[in-house]
């Protein structure tokens, strides 16, 4: 295939050529950035929490009366005992937060008291002896809390407990050689905390950008926080979620009516929690997906339109070539090669543009560097799209009869 | 003449229905994507208090020092000690401290179970500062602030819930187990984003506050903030008082300053206060203060969610591609009619007339694209809940200005896109095309 004559012909269609190349370039730049965003969002929203999500639901329980700390503590213990007795309930615990709850309690963690630069930032959960079993956490070293280690904690008091259970991730951050069990750390308090157990995985309460460097670095303190409210985390027996949710709310109201459980979102299954936590990620992914799909269709259709126009314009010349001995395949190849050259030029410009957009987003909207794979995939997709779109008009061109050469002259 | 061009345009568009449909669809989708994301962006990036945003300032004082502050920036809220010092100094025309609270409302009326209510603890100056409109009564006075009065202002929706919307001024209500006398009921007032309590946690694009109570009263009752509470060094383990006097920041301060001179004076005052604290040994560092107005504060706190910015940019890129597509297709379409143009030119049509004829054709495509875009925008805005968080999606709505903008953008962009193809069409050499046909 001779490229020279194609280039010569393209010189007569500068505007159309430029427009197709420009469209390919812009489409490539947007599609690969959008797909990269989609991939990031999907990766983000499919991160595991480390808990038994299928069987867990959460009750947001606020106290209606102003109760004293001991009153709240007694009521919480009574509530938990009632919840654990329900036939459809496997286990229940109380905490000030849970993974993906959004509401965040985090402590700076240091290796020495009075250390100025934090070693890391850990998400703090409060839990009793039932916390691990209720969430379905896997203890990989050490032991669970003992009943005598659990104590009530009044709001605005900062008595750090002497022991804690930490995640594998946090243990490795504090003691990279794997010897964390039995060692100590400090949580914004001069009293040391000893690591008595390590759980495999427990996600933080929130998954915002700021906490990404500390992902999965969580710790559990053996405390019951006597605040204005609490979350009851309940694990239903497998397959009995609906029954457990019904029973649990009734059991709590039966215990004491002076509580507020929002009728709309007071009781949430973990699936709903997950859905809410990631709704903006999911939305962005859907939007980017739709835009990519429509964009490829429009660009493809645009190429079909312009190529058809060119074919229509050049019927006479095609006829002459055919009359002079060119085969149908020659004509087909001519238009496909022409399209390939234009798309290729567009793709080169598109690569530059795609990287520029990515760099801009890194600077202004907290984006990360796009791997080469996306640009490469984008180039392949657009070249294939271009060839696919040019195929129908090119086939039509190849069917032009040599007789056309004689017709209109 | 215009009617004739319109007639020509419609005839021409009917001749290649596939090409016409493609152009209309491209413009429609492009403009709709841009308008849907713009309606969301407009909602989240708007100025919540346009006529006063340049006169309301939030002071920041570095009480954490270079070791603990955020890369040199002072904390985003004040601790109790500094907040109370600013109130005592009274260095601005008006000033208030703000923190969000949540209190329970006991059963009553037709409610058998208690409900929770979200409120704001603030000084009486809050209402005139933020121009809160009142339906009944008014806010409370400075004297009542000092008396730590048990008074409350109800939000419009909350007053409807508790009193069926009646004038409840003078009535007593119980919040969190304590009695308050209603002194005012606001009209609907919900500036979003909720600029005055950004450090308040919760949803800054959410619903209006249910009630407002005096800051001083809330402190007396030891009502905790439901907002953020950020501490650096050790928190004293002595409960409420210890917490108040810790380095925990949780209070949103606002001052009203009417002139540039007043702003400069207040900035000096903040510097002076910090220098005093350094002198007294409380701060071990040089004064590090900020005084940002509403717009600067919103920008500093990054209140516009990055996803709505990205969505808008990608949609605009999408629209741009649709326009490039349209230029190409119009070029093909117009040039295919070179013969017709040649004949018209030979019969005496001027270049200007050719220009007009083809721009009218382009505008027709733009109008059709705009109408399609309008339908898609309407569908998209109602389905925007799938794409954005519900609180943000709720803010997106179609109004007359969005309808006008959609049509104007569609027609304007298409006509601009048509300039080059039209120019090419107008410069067709009549002789050449007459000969070759």
For the segment B294-312, the average pLDDT, to the nearest whole number, is 89
Q: In this predicted structure, what is the pLDDT of residue A1?
A: 58
C-alpha to C-alpha distance for A72 and A225, rounded to whole angstroms: 9
Q: Which stretch of DSSP H or E encloses residue B214? A: strand B211-214
Work out the minimum CA distance from B234 to partner chain A, whole angstroms.
5
B109-120 pLDDT, tens digit per residue, is 666 778 889 999
- In this structure, what token pair is assigned to residue A182? 């039995």
Q: Which residues pair with A193 in a beta bridge?
A: A185
The predicted model scores a pTM of 0.84
| A217-A223-A229 Cα angle (round to 5) | 100
Interchain contact B322–A (C-beta under 8 A): yes
Vertex B156 angle, CA B154 and B161, to 5°: 85
**Euclidean distance between CA atoms B74 and B232, whole angstroms:** 12
Residue B312 pairs in a beta bridge with none
Residue B98, strand partner residues: B122, B252
> What tokens were used for B279?
């002198």
Place of tokens 């993906």: A100
Count of other CB atoms within 10 angstroms of residue A359: 13
* Nearest-angstrom CA–CA distance, A119 and B108: 51
Q: Which H or E run contains A63? A: strand A56-63
Average pLDDT, chain B: 89
CB A163 within 8 A of CB A78: no
Q: A188, A190, A305: which to substitute to probe chain B, counting the most B Cβ within 10 Å?
A: A305
Secondary structure letter of residue A86 according to DSSP: S
Q: Do A291 and B33 touch (CB under 8 A)?
A: yes
Q: Where are the alpha helices (DSSP H) in A46-129?
A: 69-85
Rounded to whole angstroms, the Cα distance separating A250 from A252 reads 5
Question: What contacts A55, CB < 8 A, 6 or more positions away?
Answer: A90, A136, A235, A236, A237, A238, A241
Please check whether residue B66 is in contact with residue B286, taking contact to mean a CB–CB distance below 8 angstroms. Answer: no
pLDDT at residue number B110: 64
* Phi, psi angle pair for B225, to nearest 5°: -75, 145
Those residues of chain A that have pLDDT short of 70 are 1, 407-409
Segment B34-77, tens digit of pLDDT: 998 898 888 888 899 999 999 999 999 999 988 888 888 999 99
Residues 238-277 of B with CB under 8 A from A: 238-240, 242-243
Start-end of H helices in B152-305: 156-163, 215-220, 240-244, 260-279, 294-300
A302/B329 touch (CB, cutoff 8 Å), yes or no: yes
The beta-carbon neighbor of A116 closest among B67, B238, B325 is B67
Q: How far apart are CA A166 and CA A277, in angstroms?
A: 23
> DSSP for B26-51?
HHHHHHHHHHHHHHHHHHHHS-SSTT
The angle formed by the CA atoms of residues A95, A229 and A164, to the nearest 5 degrees, is: 25
What is the Cα A277 distance to its own chain's centre? 10
How does DSSP assign B83-118, residue by residue? Answer: HHHHHHHT-SSEEEEEEEEEEEE--BTTB-S-EEEE
Q: Does position B130 have pLDDT exceeding 80, yes or no?
A: yes
Residue-level pLDDT at B107: 72
Q: Classify the C-alpha dihedral A79-A80-A81-A86 as positive or negative.
A: positive
Burial class (CB in 10 A: 0-12, 13-18, 19+), B332: buried
Neighbours of B339 (CB within 10 A): 15
| Per-residue pLDDT tens over the stretch B134-171 | 999 999 999 999 999 999 999 999 999 899 999 999 99
Q: Where are the beta strands (DSSP E) in A118-209?
A: 120-126, 139-142, 151-153, 163-167, 184-185, 193-199
**Tokens encoding B134:** 């009142």
CA-nearest residue to A191 within chain B is B234
B177 in reach of chain A (CB within 8 A): yes
Residue B235 is nearest to which of A66, A158, A306, comparing CB atoms?
A158
CA-CA distance, B409 to A266, in Å (whole number)? 45
Q: Decide if A307 contacts A393 (C-beta within 8 A).
A: yes
**In sequence order, what DSSP letters do the residues of B289-345 get, joined into one string?**
EEEEEHHHHHHHTT-S-HHHHHHHHHHHHHHHHHHHHHHHHHHHHHHHTHHHHHHHH
Tell me the CA end-to-end span of chain B in Å, nearest whole number: 28
pLDDT for position B303? 87
CA distances from A77 to A125, A158, A236, B188 (A): 18, 22, 19, 42
pLDDT-derived band at B84, boundaries 50, 70, 90: very high
Q: Which of A213, A215, A199 is nearest to A51 (CA)?
A: A199
> Does residue B155 contact residue B210 with C-beta atoms inside 8 Å?
yes
What Å distances lie between residue B105 and A100, B161, B164, B175, CA to CA? 28, 11, 15, 5
**Chain A contact probe: residue of B237, B324, B396 with most A CBs at under 10 A:** B324
Reported ipTM: the value is: 0.83
pLDDT digits (tens, 9 = 90+) for B176-198: 889 999 999 999 999 988 999 98
Q: Which of B310, B327, B387 sits opposite A365 (nearest CB)?
A: B310
How far does B246 lie from chain A, in Å, by closest CA?
Answer: 10
Using DSSP, state whether A187 is helix, strand or coil.
coil
Which of A264, A289, A298 to substitute to test the interface with B, most B CBs within 10 Å? A298
Q: What is the pLDDT of residue B437?
A: 46
Predicted confidence band of residue B234 (pLDDT cuts 50, 70, 90): low
Per-residue HEC secondary structure of chain A comes to CCCHHHHHHHHHHHHHHHHHHHHHHHHHHHHHHHHHHHHHHHHHHCCCCCCCHHHEEEEEEEECCCCCHHHHHHHHHHHHHHHHHCCCEEEEEEECCCCCCCCCCEEEEECCCCCCCCCEEEEEEECCCCHHHHHCCCEEEECCCCHHHCEEECCCCCCCCCEEEEEHHHHHHHCCCCCCCCCEEECCCCCCEEEEEEECCCCCCCCCHHHHHHCCCEEEECEEECCCEEEEEEEECCCCHHHHHHHHHHHHHHHCCCEECCCCCCEEEHHHHHHHHCHHHHHHHHHHHHHHHHHHHHHHHHHHHHHHHHHHHCHHHHHHHHHCCCCHHHHHHHHHHHHHHHHHHHHHHHHHHHHHHHHHHHHHCCCCCCCHHHHHHHHHHHHHHHHHHHHHHHHHHHCCCCCHHHHCC
Q: Could you say which of B106, B233, B325 has the minimum Cβ distance to residue A23?
A: B325
Q: Using CB atoms, which residue from B306, B322, B332 is nearest to A298?
A: B322
CA A100 – CA A203 distance, rounded (Å) = 8
Hunting for tokens 């779109």 — which residue is that?
Answer: A389
Instruction: Give pLDDT, residue B237.
Output: 60
Report how far residue A62's alpha carbon sits from residue A155's, in angstroms, rounded to the nearest whole number.
14
Residue the block writes with tokens 């979200």: B118
Is the separation of the CB atoms in B132 and B201 below 8 Å? no
The pLDDT value recorded for residue A409 is: 43
Residues A191/A162, Cβ–Cβ less than 8 Å: yes
Round the CA-based radius of gyration of chain B to a whole number and report it: 31
Residue-wise pLDDT for A160-191, tens only, equals: 899 999 999 999 999 999 889 999 999 888 88
CB contact B234 to A (< 8 Å)? yes
Q: Do B116 and A159 touch (CB under 8 A)?
A: no
CB contact under 8 A, B309 and A365: yes
């Amino acid at each position: 295939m001779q490229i020279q004559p194609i280039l010569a012909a393209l010189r007569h269609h500068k505007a159309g050529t430029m427009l197709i190349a420009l469209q390919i370039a812009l489409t490539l730049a947007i599609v690969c950035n959008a797909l990269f965003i989609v991939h990031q969002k999907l990766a983000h929203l499919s991160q595991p929490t480390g808990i038994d999500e299928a069987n867990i639901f959460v009750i947001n329980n606020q106290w209606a009366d102003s109760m004293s700390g001991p009153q709240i503590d007694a009521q919480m213990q009574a509530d938990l005992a009632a919840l654990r007795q329900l036939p459809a309930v496997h286990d229940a615990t109380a905490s000030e937060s849970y993974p993906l709850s959004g509401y965040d309690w985090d402590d700076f963690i240091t290796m020495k008291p009075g250390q100025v630069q934090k070693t890391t930032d850990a998400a703090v959960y409060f839990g009793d002896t039932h916390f691990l079993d209720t969430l379905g956490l896997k203890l990989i070293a050490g032991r669970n809390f003992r009943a005598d280690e659990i104590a009530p904690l009044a709001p605005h008091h900062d008595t750090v407990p002497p022991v804690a259970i930490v995640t594998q991730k946090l243990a490795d951050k504090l003691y990279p050689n794997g010897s964390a069990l039995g060692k100590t750390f400090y949580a914004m308090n001069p009293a040391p905390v000893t690591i008595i157990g390590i759980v495999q995985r427990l996600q933080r309460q929130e998954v915002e950008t700021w906490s990404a460097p500390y992902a999965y670095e969580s710790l559990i303190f053996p405390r019951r926080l006597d605040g204005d409210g609490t979350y009851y985390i309940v694990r239903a027996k497998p397959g009995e979620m609906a029954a457990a949710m019904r029973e649990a709310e009734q059991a709590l109201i039966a215990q004491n009516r002076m509580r507020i459980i929002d009728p709309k979102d007071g009781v949430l299954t973990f699936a709903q929690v997950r859905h809410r936590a990631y709704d903006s990620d999911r939305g962005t992914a859907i939007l980017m997906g739709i835009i990519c799909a429509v964009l490829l269709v429009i660009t493809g259709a645009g190429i079909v339109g312009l190529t058809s126009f060119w074919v229509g314009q050049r019927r006479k010349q095609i006829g002459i070539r055919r009359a002079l001995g060119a085969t149908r395949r020659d004509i087909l190849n001519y238009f496909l090669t022409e399209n390939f050259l234009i798309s290729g030029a567009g793709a080169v410009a598109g690569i530059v543009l795609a990287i520029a957009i990515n760099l801009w987003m890194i600077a202004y909207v907290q984006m990360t560097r796009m791997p080469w794979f996306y640009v490469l995939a984008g180039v392949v997709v657009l070249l294939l799209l271009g060839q696919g779109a040019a195929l129908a008009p090119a086939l039509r061109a190849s069917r032009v009869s040599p007789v056309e050469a004689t017709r209109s002259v | 003449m215009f009617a004739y061009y319109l007639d020509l345009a419609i005839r021409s568009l009917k001749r290649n229905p596939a090409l016409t449909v493609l152009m209309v669809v491209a413009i429609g989708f492009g403009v709709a994507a841009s308008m849907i994301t713009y309606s969301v962006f407009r909602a989240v990036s708007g100025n919540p208090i346009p006529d006063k945003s340049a006169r309301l300032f939030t002071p920041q004082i570095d009480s954490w020092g270079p070791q603990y502050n955020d890369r040199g920036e002072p904390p985003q809220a004040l601790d109790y000690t500094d907040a109370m010092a600013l109130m005592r100094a009274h260095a601005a025309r008006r000033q208030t401290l703000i923190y969000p609270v949540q209190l329970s409302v006991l059963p009553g009326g037709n409610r058998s179970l208690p409900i929770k209510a979200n409120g704001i603890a603030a000084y009486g100056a809050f209402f005139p500062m933020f121009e809160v409109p009142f339906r009944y009564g008014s806010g409370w006075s400075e004297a009542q602030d000092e008396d730590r009065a048990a008074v409350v202002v109800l939000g419009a929706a909350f007053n409807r819930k508790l009193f069926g919307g009646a004038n409840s001024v003078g009535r007593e209500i119980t919040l969190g187990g304590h009695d308050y006398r209603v002194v005012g009921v606001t009209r609907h007032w919900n500036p979003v984003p909720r600029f005055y309590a950004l450090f308040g946690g919760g949803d800054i694009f959410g619903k209006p506050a249910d009630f407002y109570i005096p800051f001083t009263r809330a402190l007396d009752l030891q009502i905790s903030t439901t907002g953020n509470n950020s501490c650096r060094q050790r928190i004293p383990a002595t409960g409420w008082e210890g917490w108040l006097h810790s380095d925990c920041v949780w209070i949103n301060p606002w001052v009203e300053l009417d002139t540039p001179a007043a702003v400069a004076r207040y900035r000096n005052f903040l510097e002076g206060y910090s220098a005093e604290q350094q002198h007294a040994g409380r701060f071990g560092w040089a004064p590090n203060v900020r005084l940002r107005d509403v717009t600067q504060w919103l920008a500093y706190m990054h209140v516009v969610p990055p996803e709505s910015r990205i969505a808008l940019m990608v949609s605009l890129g999408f629209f741009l591609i649709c326009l490039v597509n349209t230029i190409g297709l119009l070029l093909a379409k117009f040039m295919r009619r070179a013969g017709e143009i040649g004949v018209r030119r030979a019969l005496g049509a001027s270049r200007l007339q050719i220009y007009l004829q083809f721009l009218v054709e382009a505008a027709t495509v733009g109008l059709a694209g705009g109408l399609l875009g309008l339908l898609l925008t309407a569908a998209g805005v109602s389905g925007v809940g799938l794409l954005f968080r519900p609180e943000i999606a709720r803010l997106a709505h179609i109004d007359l200005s969005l309808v006008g903008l959609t049509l104007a953008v569609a027609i304007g962009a298409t006509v601009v896109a048509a300039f080059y193809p039209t120019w090419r069409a107008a410069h067709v050499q009549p002789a050449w095309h007459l000969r070759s046909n």
